[in-house]
Structure 1
Amino acid sequence: MARFVDRVVIHARAGSGGRGCASVHREKFKPLGGPDGGNGGSGGSIVLVVDPQVHTLLDFHFHPHVDAPSGKQGMGNNKEGANGGDLELRVPDGTVVLDEQGRLLADLTGEGTRFEAAAGGRGGLGNAALSSRARKAPGFALLGEKGQARDLTLELKTVADVGLVGFPSAGKSSLVSVISAAKPKIADYPFTTLVPNLGVVSAGENTFTVADVPGLIPGASEGRGLGLDFLRHVERCAVLVHVVDCATMDPGRDPISDIDALEAELAAYTPTLQGDSSLGDLTERPRAVVLNKIDVPDARELADFVRAEVAERYGWPVFEISTVSRDGLRPLTFALWDMVAAYRKTQPVAAPKRPVIRPIPVDESGFTVSPDGMGGFVVRGTRPERWIGQTDFTNDEAVGYLGDRLARLGVEDQLLKLGAQPGCAVTIADMTFDWEPQTPAGVDVTMSGRGTDLRLEQDDRVRADERKIARKQRRESREHPDSTS
């Protein structure tokens, strides 16, 4: 049996960029071929696309983890790595996207609407792209950026022109089945309908959609029953129709009290999405009242009795129908179309979406430096944090290149202005350094062996040759324990 899922949380992880290649061209009779390492490929992004053939978020309910492919590593001979293809996820029309804090990111309506849910990482530059006047043959390459990872909430709001609201077993599903080609489940017990049913209704040459919003009861706006799960589906409806059961035998139930109870729930309900592009306050939507089941003699008498009172009290059009004998259905469909058409005319024409370009001010540094409260400093900014992720810290030359980039950005000058002392801890992203202001970053680099940087030779790291000597000394000490050095 198919399931209807209208709210899911997905864990989206875009593809990471491939690392660049550090390679030197080798060819017979060309000893100085120069760097020829290619760039890494960019990671694939995760894109949500509206597909009219998709009507539920069921696929994401069973497969909440979605990963886009990563880019491939660059290769020698200036060969760039392959890009990871974008992963397109098909979602229903009316899907709303929220971030981890519940903020609205996108409202996806209209076939083909796209939204980049997670951006793929850029590929790292190879040493051919990093060569310059100062570094003619770099012995390093940049790592690829990690793809964006985020938890997103997808909520589906049914896109319909008319929303049918009413107590359980009021005949909403039956009404949808007789005025459209929809075939919802119908039975004579409460809460038969567990999912919204959508039908397309023809009124002459015009068509509109009708949604059956199930199971609204007193307290639904506070989460009682399934109210909150389905109240969101009336937010996009242009016209709301109260379907009233005139043949109910429940004590204390009558058409007036039923309408009052549901109006109180609609007024108390507030959209969970701040800034949602819905059609305004639910209390301001056009209304109509349908007195159903007039094929029952007692129900017809009650409908005739309360018709004038309902019209006078609320000022809404009232219709008497029977989904069994189909009395009053044709006038109802044409009247609903007139209400939908009138409401559409009052709404402003939606302007086509255009790309928004926000230039970066010329004096924007792109980073901030602040004390961490323990004698150190924290550097925050998109570019410094991205550069940290691109750096191979096992390569001294790559670390020196990072220092040059930070110096050109102005990080070192800002640290001096804030009174940073030599040896203090400076944290960028998840890396912490001991700051050495005397390092002449940003100036021409004296060339040394590939993968090395003369400015970093004063570090305390144990080199490979030193470890080799230490191992030899330990081995000799075990073989000759009584000997003295």
Structure 2
Amino acid sequence: MASRFVDRAVIHVAAGDGGNGCASVHREKFKPLGGPDGGNGGHGGDVVLVVDPGVHTLLDFHFRPHARGGSGKQGQGGHRSGAAGDTLEMRVPDGTVVLTEDGEVLADLMGSGTRFVAAQGGRGGLGNAALASRARKAPGFALLGEPGEERDLVLELRSVADVGLLGFPSAGKSSLISVLSAAKPKIADYPFTTLVPNLGVVSAGDVVFTMADVPGLIPGASEGKGLGLDFLRHIERCAVLVHVVDCATYEPGRDPVSDIDALEDELARYTPALGGELASRPRVVVLNKLDVPDAAELAELVRPDLEARGWRVFEVSTVAHRGLRELTYALGEIVEAHRAAQPPPTPAKVVVTPKAVDDGGFTVEADPDEDGAFVVRGPKPERWVRQTNFANDEAVGYLADRLHRLGVEEKLAKAGATPGCPVTIGGVTFDWEPSTPGVVGTLAGRGSDPRLAEQGRVTAAERKEARRLRREGTGDVDVSGEPGDPGTSGNADE
């Protein structure tokens, strides 16, 4: 039966979109000026990764790599706001590392209940009731909801083990875990019996620690031989690395010292993604299968050379249960010393960084792809553009007012922008025309803006009149909106 252990998965997460705000005016008998009552759209649901001790593999993500949060509902009239989208919680094993496709570590999830927001839900758009002001008593527009965040992530499981076992295939790593803990890995007398890392819990007096093995590590693993270096990620957290050496092998050209040197060369080629180097970890050598007479003689021969390197050497036999107690307590001492040397956990501190007085939260740069064009970058202007309905003149005018108050026009002028030059914000390109914010008390039709009408754009009133003329069958209607043309001409024959 094929192994169903998965320790690496690539997933695509998409948070829910925010709901659109509602543009509505209260209508009731004997209340001709009921005022705006459009509700806000609901926020989109996040996609969250949560550590669950009951999950031990990334198998679910392998078969279902796509995840999407719930979208927010649209706002409605009567000051009814849309419901927020459902947050999608995805259960991951303890020790899961979240990376970008480029290999950048975003989160190291350790500890039951640890959470990481993999994708942020989009904000809901404001309804016209929330946009009402002295200048706009009854806005004829509402803001659109923002799209949810989408991205591809790489999940890698790095076992939370204190002791890592290294060795050639059939060196006895699985047998050692089976006798020191309650783990029951598959054991057979042929190479590469173990295809997935095994994890066991070992007790040494009052010290309890976990032990994991790395299957299939052979010379040339860094070049893809055997099982490659795929499983070395499971020993990145280990406090001590244990070389398990087969002293009863009959393969020519192999001996304990050459086996250890070959594996150490492969370890030197591996760079842990969580930082640090494997070369700095303490080493322990286990000379295994001492129940074979020839193995005991070989162990006595190589032991002085290994101890000369500063490594502790233990002679054990998993079959005869020889030397296991001494090995267990020695590993417990090393693990306990490593834990004591770690800095105590400190609660997360909230760091408040004051914003500079002249920092508007955006930048204005020359467009590298077009001469005389500019690009405005910043979370606020880009979000405002995403929330604007460009089919509504009043909404476009409101966007112009917001950008003016933020100082975008002033910075564009300082950067050398001239009227009519292309300006790109959030993927939308405008022909920049310097303007001033709307005048308080200016009366205009809902959904229209006088400033845009002066620039030759078709107003809402003109579109309404054009529809009326079409219904009456008066003929062709010109709604080009040229300056001086009301856009409501009669038949073309006149």
- The answer (yes or no) to whether the contact 2:404–2:436 under 8 Å persists in 1 is no
CA distance in 1 between partners of 2:111 and 2:404 (Å): 48
Structure 2, unpaired ranges of 5+: 478-491
CA distance in 2 between partners of 1:467 and 1:81 (Å): 32
Tell me whether 245-254 or 358-367 shows the greater mean CA deviation. Answer: 358-367
State the one-letter code of the partner of 1:377: F
Match of 1:340 among 330, 335, 344: 335
Q: Does 1:359 align with 2:354?
A: yes
CA distance in 2 between partners of 1:177 and 1:356 (Å): 48
CA distance in 2 between partners of 1:70 and 1:358 (Å): 32
Q: Does 1:410 align with 2:411?
A: no
Instruction: Report the CA distance between 1:263 and its aligned residue.
Output: 1.3
Equivalent residue, structure 2, for 1:307? 303
State the one-letter code of the partner of 1:446: T
Equivalent residue, structure 1, for 2:62? 61
Instruction: Report the CA distance between 1:469 and its aligned residue.
Output: 5.8
Match of 1:389 among 386, 389, 395: 386
State the one-letter code of the partner of 1:208: F
RMSD over aligned Cα atoms: 2.0
State the one-letter code of the partner of 2:171: A
Equivalent residue, structure 2, for 1:106? 107
Secondary structure of the structure 1 residue equivalent to 2:229: helix
State the one-letter code of the partner of 1:148: E
State the one-letter code of the partner of 1:289: V
- The answer (yes or no) to whether the contact 1:41–1:83 under 8 Å persists in 2 is yes
Q: Does 1:286 align with 2:282?
A: yes
Instruction: Report the CA distance between 1:175 and its aligned residue.
Output: 0.8
- The answer (yes or no) to whether the contact 1:408–1:442 under 8 Å persists in 2 is no
Secondary structure of the structure 1 residue equivalent to 2:217: coil
Instruction: Report the CA distance between 1:237 and its aligned residue.
Output: 0.5
Equivalent residue, structure 2, for 1:422? 419
* Counterparts in 2 of 1:71 and 1:110: CA distance versus 1, 3 Å: same
Q: Does 1:23 align with 2:24?
A: yes
Instruction: Report the CA distance between 1:348 and its aligned residue.
Output: 2.2
Secondary structure of the structure 2 residue equivalent to 1:227: coil
CA distance in 1 between partners of 2:336 and 2:413 (Å): 67
Per-residue CA distance 1:85-126 (angstroms, 9 max, x = gap):
221111111111112332221111111111111111111101
Instruction: Report the CA distance between 1:242 and its aligned residue.
Output: 0.4
CA distance in 1 between partners of 2:71 and 2:356 (Å): 33
Tell me whether 445-454 or 250-259 shows the greater mean CA deviation. Answer: 445-454
State the one-letter code of the partner of 2:131: L
CA distance in 1 between partners of 2:445 and 2:439 (Å): 18
Instruction: Report the CA distance between 1:445 and its aligned residue.
Output: 5.8
Match of 1:375 among 367, 372, 384: 372
Q: Does 1:447 align with 2:448?
A: no
Per-residue CA distance 1:309-355 (angstroms, 9 max, x = gap):
3222x221111111112111122111111111122222222323334
* Counterparts in 2 of 1:405 and 1:71: CA distance versus 1, 3 Å: same
Equivalent residue, structure 1, for 2:44? 43
Matches for 1:177-192 after TM superposition, within 5 Å: 177-192=178-193
CA distance in 2 between partners of 1:328 and 1:223 (Å): 35
TM-score, length-scaled by structure 1: 0.92
Secondary structure of the structure 2 residue equivalent to 1:261: helix
* Counterparts in 2 of 1:191 and 1:25: CA distance versus 1, 3 Å: same
Equivalent residue, structure 2, for 1:202? 203
Equivalent residue, structure 1, for 2:484? none
Secondary structure of the structure 1 residue equivalent to 2:360: coil
Instruction: Report the CA distance between 1:467 and its aligned residue.
Output: 7.2
State the one-letter code of the partner of 2:375: V
Matches for 1:204-243 after TM superposition, within 5 Å: 204-243=205-244
- The answer (yes or no) to whether the contact 2:134–2:441 under 8 Å persists in 1 is no
Tell me whether 71-80 or 302-311 shows the greater mean CA deviation. Answer: 302-311
Structure 1, unpaired ranges of 5+: 476-482
CA distance in 2 between partners of 1:257 and 1:208 (Å): 29
Instruction: Report the CA distance between 1:222 and its aligned residue.
Output: 4.0
Matches for 1:12-161 after TM superposition, within 5 Å: 12-161=13-162
Instruction: Report the CA distance between 1:234 and its aligned residue.
Output: 1.4
* Counterparts in 2 of 1:472 and 1:100: CA distance versus 1, 3 Å: farther
Secondary structure of the structure 2 residue equivalent to 1:457: helix
- The answer (yes or no) to whether the contact 1:405–1:442 under 8 Å persists in 2 is no
CA distance in 1 between partners of 2:432 and 2:342 (Å): 60
State the one-letter code of the partner of 2:299: A
Q: Does 1:250 align with 2:251?
A: yes
Instruction: Report the CA distance between 1:459 and its aligned residue.
Output: 4.4
CA distance in 2 between partners of 1:23 and 1:484 (Å): 40
Give the total of aligned pairs.
471
- The answer (yes or no) to whether the contact 1:407–1:442 under 8 Å persists in 2 is no
* Counterparts in 2 of 1:358 and 1:228: CA distance versus 1, 3 Å: farther
Per-residue CA distance 1:108-148 (angstroms, 9 max, x = gap):
11111111111111111011100001001111100011111
Per-residue CA distance 1:400-426 (angstroms, 9 max, x = gap):
100100111111112222332222211
Tell me whether 370-379 or 86-95 shows the greater mean CA deviation. Answer: 370-379
Equivalent residue, structure 1, for 2:487? none
* Counterparts in 2 of 1:368 and 1:354: CA distance versus 1, 3 Å: same
Instruction: Report the CA distance between 1:374 and its aligned residue.
Output: 2.3
State the one-letter code of the partner of 2:393: D
Secondary structure of the structure 2 residue equivalent to 1:42: coil
Secondary structure of the structure 1 residue equivalent to 2:448: coil
* Counterparts in 2 of 1:133 and 1:461: CA distance versus 1, 3 Å: closer
TM-score, length-scaled by structure 2: 0.91
- The answer (yes or no) to whether the contact 1:124–1:142 under 8 Å persists in 2 is yes
Equivalent residue, structure 1, for 2:312? 317
State the one-letter code of the partner of 1:286: P
State the one-letter code of the partner of 2:106: L
Per-residue CA distance 1:404-461 (angstroms, 9 max, x = gap):
0011111111222233222221111121112222x33354362211111111113455
CA distance in 1 between partners of 2:416 and 2:295 (Å): 85
* Counterparts in 2 of 1:93 and 1:356: CA distance versus 1, 3 Å: farther
Tell me whether 96-105 or 206-215 shows the greater mean CA deviation. Answer: 96-105
CA distance in 2 between partners of 1:445 and 1:452 (Å): 14
- The answer (yes or no) to whether the contact 1:51–1:91 under 8 Å persists in 2 is yes
CA distance in 2 between partners of 1:356 and 1:66 (Å): 32
Instruction: Report the CA distance between 1:304 and its aligned residue.
Output: 2.5
Report the identity percentage: 69
- The answer (yes or no) to whether the contact 2:135–2:438 under 8 Å persists in 1 is no
